[in-house]
């Protein structure tokens, strides 16, 4: 390999089928951008599985290198910020969608996408959180900004065993909240309690009910599933409480009445981790590197190399993925 060549897990289209393989690319083939980064770690997300399987809503044209998360060292910097030699985190914006992403050993991106690595942190630690952890942090931050406090009562987390949900459970519990984990996986109840959930209940807690309002049970909530479970959750929020909403695994439709909003003053808070200003991302990363450190999330990751990406992404599409997976390019 020449000095400018690198390895990437590249997806190609062949007669309507999409296949990822390890390929050798050249730095000069990367998209235009101000900052060249040598990526040491990435992390796997459902969106990467969509990109790798040809979902045109995520990635329009192939060949393409997925990977919406990346962390590593700045090798070239046209603007001087971030500085050459510094470590950075890049998540969201167009990375891994229509801009070659973190499943390659190098990326080239605008400087406005680069979060400086928090002091005392490294690329591997950052990727144990990845977009999922960042999203959980943003959900919790929105609740706190709305005035959520532990003494107000129970906080529900739906999709609790998922990548976003599990970090939300651990973080809220660490912040002193009485967390009720709502999960469809009975065999994950013990691990959710280990993360700090005070109670673990099944998805039937959010089963569809005809009544427009239900007994208020939760002071606040983080919802990662959307659809009818979110509509049911809104009916069970105490007066003045808030629900951070970030996901749609149970469906993108939200059929509700205005009653939770006008009778109980419930707040529905939208959370986007992709396009928000960089300083909002940086604030949450700094918290995870400080008071918000989630020891269990950091300890429970699975590390894979590029050769394992195909199987790991398939597991996401089949709904069989469990726990956080990070990609180590040195493997």
Which spans of this chain sit near ligand NAP (rule: CB under 6 A)?
Answer: 45-46, 131-132, 135, 159-165, 183-185, 203, 224-225, 229, 246-250, 271-274
Nearest residue (CB) to ligand NAP, 106 versus 177: 177
Q: Which of 137, 168, 172 is nearest to 152 (CA)?
A: 172
Q: Which residue is nearest to ligand NAP (CB)?
A: 162
DSSP string covering 171-222: HHHHTT--EEEE-S-GGGHHHHHHHT-SEEE-GGGG---SSS-----EEEEE
**Nearest distance from residue 321's CB to ligand NAP, in Å?**
6
**Nearest distance from residue 92's CB to ligand NAP, in Å?**
7
Which residue has 């105490």 as its token pair?
238
Q: Please give the distance of CA 269 from its chain centroid, rounded to a whole number.
A: 17
CA-CA distance, 258 to 256, in Å (whole number)? 7
CA-CA distance, 215 to 113, in Å (whole number)? 44
Q: Which of 131, 96, 106 is nearest to 11 (CA)?
A: 96
Nearest residue (CB) to ligand NAP, 165 versus 260: 165
Nearest residue (CB) to ligand NAP, 107 versus 138: 138
Torsions phi, psi for 65 (to 5 deg): -105, 110
Nearest residue (CB) to ligand NAP, 30 versus 167: 167
Nearest residue (CB) to ligand NAP, 66 versus 165: 165
**Nearest distance from residue 233's CB to ligand NAP, in Å?**
11
**Nearest distance from residue 142's CB to ligand NAP, in Å?**
11
**Nearest distance from residue 273's CB to ligand NAP, in Å?**
3
């Amino acid at each position: 390999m020449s000095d400018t060549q690198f390895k990437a897990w590249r997806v190609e289209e062949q007669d309507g089928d999409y296949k990822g393989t390890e390929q050798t690319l050249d730095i000069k083939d990367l998209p235009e951008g101000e900052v060249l980064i040598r990526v040491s770690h990435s992390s796997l997300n459902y969106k990467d599985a969509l990109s790798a399987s040809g979902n045109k809503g995520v990635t329009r044209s192939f060949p393409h290198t997925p990977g919406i998360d990346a962390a590593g060292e700045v090798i070239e910097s046209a603007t001087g910020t971030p500085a050459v030699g510094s470590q950075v985190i890049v998540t969201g914006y167009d990375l891994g969608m229509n801009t070659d992403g973190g499943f390659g050993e190098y990326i080239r991106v605008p400087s406005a996408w680069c979060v400086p690595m928090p002091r005392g942190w490294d690329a591997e630690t950052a990727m144990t959180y990845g977009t999922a952890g960042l999203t959980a942090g943003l959900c919790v931050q929105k609740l706190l900004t709305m005035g959520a406090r532990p003494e107000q009562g129970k906080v529900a987390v739906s999709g609790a065993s998922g990548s976003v949900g599990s970090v939300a459970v651990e973080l809220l519990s660490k912040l002193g909240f009485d967390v009720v984990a709502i999960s469809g996986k009975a065999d994950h109840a013990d691990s959710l309690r280990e993360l700090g959930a005070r109670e673990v209940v099944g998805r039937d807690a959010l089963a569809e009910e005809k009544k427009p309002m239900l007994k208020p049970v939760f002071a606040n909530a983080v919802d990662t599933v959307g659809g009818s479970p979110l509509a049911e959750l809104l009916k069970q929020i105490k007066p003045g409480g808030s629900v951070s909403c970030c996901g749609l695994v149970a469906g993108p439709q939200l059929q509700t009445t205005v009653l939770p909003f006008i009778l109980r003053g419930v707040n529905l808070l939208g959370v986007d981790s992709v396009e928000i200003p960089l300083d909002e991302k940086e604030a949450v990363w700094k918290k995870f590197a400080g008071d918000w450190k989630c020891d269990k999330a950091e300890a429970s990751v699975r590390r894979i190399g590029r050769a394992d990406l195909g199987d790991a992404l398939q597991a996401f599409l089949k709904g069989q993925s469990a726990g956080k997976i990070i990609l180590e390019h040195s493997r």
